[in-house]
Amino acid sequence: MARVLVTGGAGFIGSNFVRHLVDHTDDEVTVLDKLTYAGDPRTLEGLPENRVRLVQGDIADAELVTPLVAGHDLVVHFAAESHNDNSLSDPSPFVDTNLVGTFTLLEAVRRHDTRYHHISTDEVYGDLALDDPAKFTESTPYNPSSPYSSTKAGSDLLVRAWVRSFGVRATISNCSNNYGPYQHVEKFIPRQITNVVDGVRPKLYGAGENVRDWIHVDDHNAAVLRIIEAGTIGETYLIGADGEQNNKDVVELILELMGQPRDAYDHVTDRVGHDLRYAIDATRLRTELGWEPRFSDFRSGLADTIAWYRDNEAWWRVQKAAAEAKYAAKGQ
Ligand code: NAD
Ligand code: DAU
């Protein structure tokens, strides 16, 4: 049994990770979460109170973080400002949380010699051309595009430096686009599902040719646990499940699965600097650590996700109007 501190555990991937830990380990979990617009304590409802507790606070607050880390064997760092569109409107919280927050955690785990796993994104590598057969690997050079991805890239580099300079016991994972339950309605797939529920046509940026490499959140989290258990300190592992789809195909599949005509969507203003394509080569994770995805059928994973949003309207409804107001202001 370990005492695990999960930052950002009231958000999408972090909360699913907490459920994964409860189901697959005997660990006791502390969630440290600022409960920004993206964090919701209701996401942790139903978890056993003797194993999961929530501390509301900022990862950039050293006075809170340093003693909190002392009582734990492992820190798994999910907390971030996570949405590209928001980073284009106001980069400031991205610098505070993704860079200063990660620095604050690294100083705390250095002081207490605590094992640390850093959650990051494939966006640190920039984008690939649509017709390029290449995929990202652990040795692809960093080339981030947006304020979001550049602050995530910076946070990864801080981790690498703290490993080499101070001997911090850290691993890093960079994953592709996640989908599944409890994802905020600002993100592509939940936005379109909840639009259809509301009788609103889905919104596709530009021509919709941009490609994302979709992975179910449970496959991401199983890989994270595997890396924590068996990964090599100081190393980076890419997580992906060969799920490349262009945005147009995803919108059309959502419409079909929700009983609508496949062309019942609108093209809207494109994202500034919109990355074209992400694709992950997860060979290292598969061969060295023996991880395999369980959700290999995107169509059925998406159908389950649609069912989850239909069944859990009370959870997402409170976020929907504010998310749509931000998009409306930008013609999206
Ligand atoms: P999310 O936006 O759903 O959740 C982020 C959580 O962090 C929220 O609960 C929020 O309240 C919390 N938070 C934000 N700032 C904080 C601060 N200063 N202190 C404490 N808590 C704070 O994000 P997500 O999609 O679950 O992403 C989680 C992590 O996974 C991020 O590091 C992100 O970069 C990474 N990632 C996401 C994806 C994806 O597809 N969503 C893919 C790869 C990697
Ligand atoms: O690749 C991993 C990244 O995936 C994570 O690091 C980020 O935290 C996560 O938000 C996600 O980034 P994206 O920018 O790829 O995800 P998003 O859901 O915002 O958009 C997915 C694609 O859909 C992207 O090409 C933009 C497009 N899009 C998005 C929205 C919200 C639309 O066409 N219409 C929309 O309404």
Point out the ligand nearest to the CA of residue 87.
Answer: 2
- The structure's pTM equals 0.99
* Residue 10 and residue 36 in contact, taking contact as beta carbons nearer than 8 Å: no
CB 98, CB 80: distance < 8 Å: yes
Give the pLDDT confidence of 277-310 residue by residue, as tens digits.
999 999 999 999 999 999 999 999 999 999 999 9
28-33 and 3-7 beta bridge pairing: parallel
- Examine the residue annotation and report whether 148 is marked as an active-site residue of this protein: yes
* pLDDT higher than 90, residue 98: yes
Note the pLDDT of residue 135. 98
Helices (H), 198-297: 217-230, 247-257, 283-289
The pLDDT assigned to 1 comes to 83
The number of the ligand 1 atom at minimal distance from the alpha carbon of 83 is 2
Question: What is the distance in A from the centroid of ligand 2 to the CA of 188?
Answer: 5
Determine the Cα–Cα distance for residues 69 and 327; give it in Å rounded to an integer: 37
CA distance linking residue 143 with residue 31, whole number of Å = 31
Average per-residue pLDDT in the chain? 98
pLDDT for 257 beyond 90: yes
The residue-averaged pLDDT of 10-14 equals 98
Flag whether pLDDT at 259 surpasses 90: yes
Q: Is the CB of 8 under 6 A from ligand 1?
A: yes
Whether 275 has a pLDDT exceeding 90, the answer reads yes
Q: Which residues pair with 280 in a beta bridge?
A: 136
CA triplet 157, 79, 45: central angle to 5 degrees? 160
Question: Which ipTM score applies to this complex?
Answer: 0.99
pLDDT digits (tens, 9 = 90+) for 182-238: 999 999 999 999 999 999 999 999 999 999 999 999 999 999 999 999 999 999 999
In the set 27, 40, 81, 122, the catalytic residue is 122
Ligand 2 pocket test target in 145, 151, 212 with most atoms within 8 Å of CB: 212
For β-strands 244-246 and 211-213, DSSP reports them as antiparallel
